[in-house]
Structures are given as C-alpha cells and as structure tokens.
Chain A
Amino acid sequence: MSNVSKTERQAAMIREISGANPAKCMKCGKCSATCPAFDEMDIKPHQFVSYVQDGNIEALAASKSLWKCLSCFACIERCPRNVKPAKLIDAARQIVEREKGGDYLSPDEIPALLDPELPQQLLVSAFRRYRR
C-alpha cells in the first residue's frame, strides 16, 4: 500500500522535475536509435519513457542507464514529439540521489582518476551529474 503511493509520488515527481510529458511518446524509437550510450543502457531511452508512463519507478531507480546517459541531448533534438527522454532520465537520477543519497562518484575515488591533462570542467561536470 505505502509502496504503491510511493511509486505514484515518484512518478509524479519525475514528471514535475523533468517538465516532460511521457504521454506524448509515439514509441517510434528514434531517441534510442540516436543514443550514443544505447549499448550501455539496460533500459533504453524509449523504454525509459514507457516506464515513467507506467509508473514502473522501482526498475528505473535501479537502472544503470541513470549513470550512462551523457546529456548529449541527441534524443531531445531528434524526438519528433518533443518528449525529452534525457530530462526524464535526469529526473529519475535526481530522485535516486536525493532519496538514497545514492552517489555514483565519491571524492575518495578522485585521486586515482586524475591525470595531468584532465580539465577542471570534467571534474566539475562529473560531480554535478553524479552527486547530489
């Protein structure tokens, strides 16, 4: 019971945070076809849209797609229905980070990842995307 309402609440949050409307999706698959991270994703961009629409949030929260999206906006640019799959993925990621404190990057990992050429921009962006 509480689980159902939690799922509903999360689905609503994803819609609200993202400002995207999954109901407009016509399941053409164009977003997935253009996604450079497609092979790495367990839930593909077009499926992600359906999952939000069906309220199947638990699966989304556990999906590794959250950490594979590159924010390249190809899916947003090329979606014929202006659904904005990347925004839905990002909203789901934020919910996970906010609720579980689920971080994909810890400061302890950083020293081992550094090299002399690495631009600040990379650290800054990764921190912003992977942590709350």
Chain B
Amino acid sequence: MKYSYYPGCTLKNKAKVLDAYARASALALGFELEEIRDWQCCGGVYPLGSDEIATKLSSVRALADARDHGRELVTLCSACHHVIKRVNDDMQNVADIRTRANNYMQLDTPYTGETNVLHFFEVLRDRVGFDALAKKVVNPLKGKKIGAYYGCLLLRPGEIMAFDDPENPRVMEDFIRALGAEPVVYPYRNECCGGYISLKEKEMATRMTDTIQESASGFGAEMLITACPLCRYNLNMTANGLPVVYFTELLAEALGVKEGIEA
C-alpha cells in the first residue's frame, strides 16, 4: 500500500528522526510513504482569516498532488496535519475559498477537496489496525509507563479534525498499549504547551509546560510521547522534566527497526 506523504520543513531538519523512524516503521508494517514532489512549507499555523488565500495554497498544492496520484495524503507533524486538514475542509465546504484558490492555482483539474488526509496515527488505527500492529511487535516495551501528549492541533477543532474525541482521546493510549507498554492518562494531555509563544515568551511557555510535565509525572508517567516537534521542544524547556520522544521512535524500537537509523 502506498500513500502520498507530506513531511513538512521541520522533519527535513531538526526533527529528521521523526520522519526516518516513521518511514522504517511503515515498511515493516507493509506500507510506503511516498513524498510529494516539490512540496512547500505549510506555514505552521492555519490562517484563521476567512479572506486569506495565498497562505493556503501550499496545502492545496499538496492535496491536489495526492489526488492526482489517487492516494490518501499522510502527515506526521501535528502542525502540518492541522493546517492541511483544515485547508482541505475549506476546499470542500467554503465555496468562496475554493473558487479563489482554484483561480490562483490554474490546475488542470480544479481541486475541490477530494483527498483524504490521514495523520500517521490514523493510518495505524484505521488502516493497519492496532491488533495487527501488536502482532508485528518484536520488542514489546514491557513495563514502560508512557504518557501521551496530544497537545491541541491534532484534536481541535474536533468537528474538523475528526481525529478522536477532543476531550477524551484514546488513540495514542491504544498505540502505547499495542507496543506492549502501559499508557498513563493524565489531565493535561490535551492542554496547550504554549505553541509559538515560546519564541518570545519563554517564561510564560515554561509555566505551561511545567504544569503539563507535573501532571504527567504526578500520575506516574516515566516518559512522554508526541507527534509534534514544537511540543517536544517546548516540553523539554521544563527543568528536570520527563524525557519527551517522538512516537515513531518507540514504534521503530518495538518493531525492531530502530537500529541503523541515525538519530
């Protein structure tokens, strides 16, 4: 099975391992991520203004490319996923944006939201299946107590992201269980880490990540997993916080394909 894949700029740079472990794991699970040609950065935040078009075009281009290949589009970074999924919703449901974006793009076939956008977690849950994943695990992560950090962008707005129950998600916990580890549910797993505020306001951001880290360790987690390079960076600002790793690293470890991938 082949999917179109949108890596995003951070996965080509500071978060290379998030990408490398995902590709290796995908092959071990019997699917392939084929990178879209000439993709451009999605911008990192969804342009909320209903009159913004130019800032949405890189997402539309990626979506149209997947459509042209007749494939679903897979993302890894929470932020890319959020932006592309919401732009796709605009292309499906907001006639004005759809018309103006297509006027700009001049594609051979206008794009009207045909592509299905899947986060890697959704591929694992809905295409591979967590039972099948569990069967492929060769190094079960026994005894590890892991807190899932969802953050905001995968879940909200729930109506559009349709990723999981935005207030009581479980996909990452099910993932942790499939790898043989023990998920730790803690109250702040879907509260914001501060996002881009950490660039200029470290103090405010650190206060927020301290709360998340304390919440997780207070409930017994020994480590945190995330899909988002910015969440990871922010959560690491907390002094003596729990280690934060990309979920794909644990996946590759459990599947026995971690060795040989340079971190």
Interface, chain A (partner B; CB < 8 A): 16-19, 36-37, 40, 68, 70-74, 76-77, 86-87, 90-91, 94, 104-105, 109, 113, 117-126, 128-130
Contact = CB atoms under 8 A, between A and B. Distances in A.
A108 to B, nearest CB: 13
Contacts of B41: 120, 124
By CB atoms of chain B within 10 A, which of A123, A125, A130 has the most? A125
B14 interface: yes
Contact of A90 (B44, B48, B228): B48
Contacts of B51: 16-17
B49 A94 contact: yes
A90 B156 contact: no
A125 B156 contact: no
A122 B233 contact: yes
13 contacts: A16-B51, A36-B208, A37-B204, A70-B194, A72-B156, A74-B192, A77-B158, A105-B199, A113-B199, A119-B13, A121-B230, A122-B196, A125-B79
A73 B10 contact: no
Interface of B: 8-10, 13-15, 41, 43-51, 55, 77, 79, 152, 155-158, 166-167, 191-192, 194-200, 204, 208, 228-230, 232-233, 236
A129 B228 CA distance: 18
A109 B45 CA distance: 21
Contact of B49 (A77, A90, A119): A90
Contacts of B47: 128
Contacts of B79: 121, 125
B196 A126 contact: yes
A67 to B, nearest CB: 8
B230 A119 contact: yes
